[in-house]
Structure 1
Amino acid sequence: MTGRVLLVRHGETTWNRAGRIQGWADATLTEEGREQARAVGSHLVDSHSVDRLVVSDLKRTLETAEVLRAVGIGADSERARAWRERDFGDLQGLTRTAIATRHPEYHRGGSLLSVRSVAGGESLPAFETRVREGWERLVGEVAAGETVAVVTHGGPIRAVLAEVAGRELASLATEFSPSNCGITEISVDGSGSDVVLRDGTDHLPA
């Protein structure tokens, strides 16, 4: 019998709305972000039996998890640093336009996640290793028939998808950015992992 991991991106934050790069910097949820969290929480209660709730230890994910528990997710929050967003160092707090102006090597329409090194931040290989180790640890703990919800960020979600699909993260990161409170569902068993749903958003308000 397979287990299931539900990767949930946090709700919209004030910096998301302003188009600012967050990384490890903390920003609070907007009211829309709280509404998104309530919607995904209600969907999880109605459609899944969540046995564990693993949460990145940054403010926006912890706030999202609090809303999930408020609407009925019964599992206690387990904080896990491995599920943090990538540390974008000196770029944190800047808009993509400002970054493109100051650093011509960064394409304004591209994914910062695919940039290999960032001044004052975390290299792409270090980020990939951190998330991969967290993912492997989690998969090793998932029991048959168990459902684990992980409240995390866009970067780690794409890193896990790249790992499961055997693809380069730098390439996959250019294809899409996970939606706030979108769900990516992955089935796991002894033979491996399979993506069941990528960034599902049907549960979110229009």
Structure 2
Amino acid sequence: MTATLLLVRHGQTTWNRDGRIQGWADSTLTERGREQARALGSHLSAEYDVDRLVASDLRRTRETVGLLEEAGVGPDPEFERAWRERDFGDLQGLTRAEIAERIPEYDPDGSLLAVESVPGGESLSAFEERVLDGWERLVEELGEGETAAVVTHGGPIRAVVAAVSGRELAAVAPELSPTNCGVTEFRCATDYSVVRRDVTDHLSL
């Protein structure tokens, strides 16, 4: 079977702008985030024939999907909890520096995603299992020659890249930081492989 899967991160939010960890907490897109989403929508409409549009059910991904639809990305969206960011529990809303004060082993220049457990939140293994369950369901449902676009978050994109590449998520997380509205493309011939990582040519960065 041949198929294409596009994982895209939502547009910039107020907490992205302010350097605060979001997880499952909601913040709205900034004007820059809305511009990014419109540019992404134009890119997807021009370059791909998207057969399925899937997204996390959090506010920032819903807002991004609405702008993709306005730009002509056609299928009715399917919102799934599996594609949420990791639940960072008590750390949500804090800056990286504030988190480092609470968790001594956390390097504020590194990725919080690589930390195995967070107070009041989701473990790394539980997060990875949730996302990969969603990925596997979607892969199984795709038909010959179809293209699916998934509007999600940085964590799930890294989890899928790690799984497809046969690497540990904790090792991939510090080296890959998906851009708001960047596109990571996977294609299937006999198995899925990463074709392009975090493409941003369509954005004015």
Displacement after TM superposition at 1:103 (Å): 2.3
CA–CA distance in 2 between the matches of 1:48 and 1:42? 10
CA–CA distance in 1 between the matches of 2:23 and 2:36? 20
Percent identical among aligned pairs is 67
How big is the alpha-carbon RMSD for the aligned residues of Structure 1 and Structure 2?
Answer: 0.8
- Runs of 4+ in structure 1 over 4 Å off: none
> Which residue of 2 is the match for residue 78 of structure 1?
78
CA–CA distance in 1 between the matches of 2:116 and 2:183? 27
Q: What is the aligned residue count?
A: 205
The answer on whether the counterparts of 1:54 and 1:78 sit within 8 Å (CA) in structure 2 is yes
Paired residue type of 2:201: D
2:84 pairs with 1:121: no
Unaligned runs of 5+ in 2: none
The answer on whether the counterparts of 1:183 and 1:201 sit within 8 Å (CA) in structure 2 is yes
Partner SS for 1:6: strand
Displacement after TM superposition at 1:102 (Å): 2.6
What are the Cα deviations for residues 124-152 of structure 1, in whole angstroms up to 9, with x where unaligned?
Answer: 00001001111110100111110100000
Displacement after TM superposition at 1:101 (Å): 2.1
> Which residue of 2 is the match for residue 143 of structure 1?
143
Paired residue type of 1:192: D
Displacement after TM superposition at 1:105 (Å): 1.7
Map 1:30-179; keep pairs closer than 5 Å.
Answer: 30-179=30-179
CA–CA distance in 2 between the matches of 1:200 and 1:101? 34
CA–CA distance in 1 between the matches of 2:67 and 2:108? 33
Displacement after TM superposition at 1:109 (Å): 0.5
What are the Cα deviations for residues 27-50 of structure 1, in whole angstroms up to 9, with x where unaligned?
Answer: 100000000000010000011111
Unaligned runs of 5+ in 1: none
Partner SS for 1:94: coil
How does the TM-score come out when normalised to structure 2?
0.98
Single out whichever of 1-10 and 146-155 deviates more from structure 2: 1-10
> Which residue of 2 is the match for residue 199 of structure 1?
198
Paired residue type of 1:202: D
The answer on whether the counterparts of 1:139 and 1:188 sit within 8 Å (CA) in structure 2 is no
Paired residue type of 1:15: W
